[in-house]
Structure 1
């Protein structure tokens, strides 16, 4: 297997992975800043205040807290289910794909030899398993926070623990969801490294619109009025 004949795989695949990883690393660091403008950072602060308001008025807002966490719980379970369904489908298709890929070749499609096919499926499966693991752990933390949220009003000792559990659950659910979306460019890697690179750039642009531009438009609208 001569890798020098397929420079696109060597260049575009690591570049696409580094672009996605660096973008999310930047988003995570920006979300922890004091005056953050990212949707993730703003949502984290708003949810912390929301938990505090629920705990301060436990008798009046306990049903609201349970219903809100139920919606978050359902979306996290959906992400974990989709990740496992795609992973199962990949396992079923892996046995029938090897011979089909041996019929194709070329610079644009990239390297399609047996080891590369295994590497592609293993990379996609690993990302899906990470997404499922994060979403599953997020479900556990959210359920734990849901129980503690309905603790008696005099149990002040649990207040900090409730906020910590819900925050961990939401962060893990967000990570699982982002990893799941980041898996789709690697699915297109099956059609070649060019498709992987283009879809990775497109996905980062979509993430940027949700992470920055949406919050900027909201803030501009608030200032205008």
Structure 2
């Protein structure tokens, strides 16, 4: 059940990555990335009036990443303390769960969860680094000899949001691993429950309808132009 739990989450995110690459506007990530591109261009174009708005918006995102990074490192410290403790963590679980109860398996569970939280902390801390760079560059006055372009600032912003998303997904994937401590069945059921929840959060419903309306509008507009 545990390998099936891992494979379910991995397969879903591989399929999501394929959709982001092939049909970006059908996903939340592609739609938001498109909006952020226009947002960066507009902030730089009207820098004198909107620099405060840009800084405040980035500050809210940095605060979210900081909270997740702090939570991840605190959980990592707690798990490290449990692993290094002389108290045997498997004794109270032997009579209440089914599955492997050996010391190697119990250690594997805790070490896996610890690694997930550490990688989540790394992604969130790296995201904060990129977002801080964007906060400086997006408010810098444009200069003809400067190599900082709106496209470059947008790429830094996308890296920050990508690392933030990866850190969040690693944090979410730790939930089945936490339940794995109490048995493989709970981990498997949690993974099956997470997939439809994430699907409803990651995809833009009605994308095909919007695409059809856009094609009809474009076709009618071209036909009107031809008639004129």
TM over 0.5: yes
Q: Is the CA contact (8 Å cut-off) linking 1:132 and 1:176 kept in structure 2?
A: yes
Matched, 1:173 2:164: yes
116, 119, 129: which is aligned to 1:140? 129
* Alignment TM-score, normalising by the size of structure 1: 0.84
Change (3 A) 1:100 1:149: closer
Q: Tell me which structure has the larger Cα radius of gyration.
A: 2
Q: Counterpart of 1:118?
A: 107
Q: Is the CA contact (8 Å cut-off) linking 2:130 and 2:157 kept in structure 1?
A: yes
Change (3 A) 1:42 1:97: farther
TM-superposed CA distance for 1:72, in Å, is 0.7
TM-superposed CA distance for 1:32, in Å, is 2.5
1:95 & 1:74 partners in 2: Cα distance?
A: 32
1:89 & 1:166 partners in 2: Cα distance?
A: 32
Q: Counterpart of 1:157?
A: 147
Q: Counterpart of 1:53?
A: 42
Q: Counterpart of 1:182?
A: 173
* Alignment TM-score, normalising by the size of structure 2: 0.83
Q: Counterpart of 1:208?
A: 199
| More divergent stretch after superposition (187-196 vs 98-107) | 98-107
1:178 & 1:70 partners in 2: Cα distance?
A: 21
Unaligned runs of 5+ in 2: 214-228
Change (3 A) 1:206 1:48: same
1:61 & 1:131 partners in 2: Cα distance?
A: 32
1:220 & 1:67 partners in 2: Cα distance?
A: 35
Matched, 1:30 2:13: no
TM-superposed CA distance for 1:175, in Å, is 0.6
Q: Is the CA contact (8 Å cut-off) linking 2:26 and 2:207 kept in structure 1?
A: no
Q: Is the CA contact (8 Å cut-off) linking 1:76 and 1:138 kept in structure 2?
A: yes
| More divergent stretch after superposition (155-164 vs 83-92) | 155-164
Unaligned runs of 5+ in 1: 1-11
